């Protein structure tokens, strides 16, 4: 299990964010919720991101990957593989 840290959310400065590496701009799930729920058109990506909501609450990494896709419209193979791996590990 990777070591995790708790950092205060940079946006609301209220909630704590669990991160597995030091993050210069941690933002909590609550602050990202609306953006994370942006509908995804691509059926394949939609399927990839269709995971239990709690996983996004729990993992800053998963939030980050999904937001990258929402903001930039694409992900690298590596990012997709890492996403799948983290989801699998969390569900095991
Ligand atoms: Zn926040």
CA distance 71 to 32: 12
- pLDDT score of 4: 75
Give kind and range of the element (H or E) at residue 6. Answer: strand 5-8
Beta carbons of 48 and 84 less than 8 angstroms apart: yes
Residue 22 pLDDT > 80: no
C-alpha of residue 8 to centroid of ligand 1, in Å = 8
Residue 25 class from Cβ within 10 Å (0-12 exposed, 13-18 middle, 19+ buried)?
exposed
User: Residue 10: is it exposed, middle or buried by C-beta count within 10 angstroms (0-12/13-18/19+)?
Assistant: middle
Ligand 1 centre to CA of 34 (Å) is 12
For range 53-57, the mean pLDDT:
95
Q: Which residues constitute the domain of residue 32?
A: 5-91
- pLDDT value of residue 6: 87
CB 46 within 8 A of CB 29: no
pLDDT beyond 70 at 31 = yes
Domain count, the chain: 1
Give percent of the chain above pLDDT 70: 92
Alpha carbon of 36 to ligand 1 centroid (Å): 13
pLDDT for 5 equals 79
pLDDT tier at 36, thresholds 50, 70, 90 = very high
Structure tokens at 60: 């800053």
| Separation of CA 44 and ligand 1 centre (Å) | 29
To the question of pTM greater than 0.85 for the whole model, the response is: yes
Distance in Å, CA 28 to ligand 1 centroid: 4
Q: What is the pLDDT of residue 2?
A: 60
């Amino acid at each position: 299990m990777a070591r995790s840290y708790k950092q205060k959310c940079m946006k609301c400065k209220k909630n704590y964010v669990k991160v597995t590496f030091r993050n210069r701009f941690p933002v909590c799930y609550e602050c990202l919720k609306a953006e994370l729920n942006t509908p995804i058109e691509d059926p394949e990506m939609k399927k990839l991101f269709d995971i239990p909501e709690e996983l996004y609450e729990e993992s800053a990494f998963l939030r980050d990957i999904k937001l990258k896709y929402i903001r930039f419209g694409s992900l690298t193979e590596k990012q997709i593989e890492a996403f799948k791996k983290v989801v699998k590990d969390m569900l095991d």
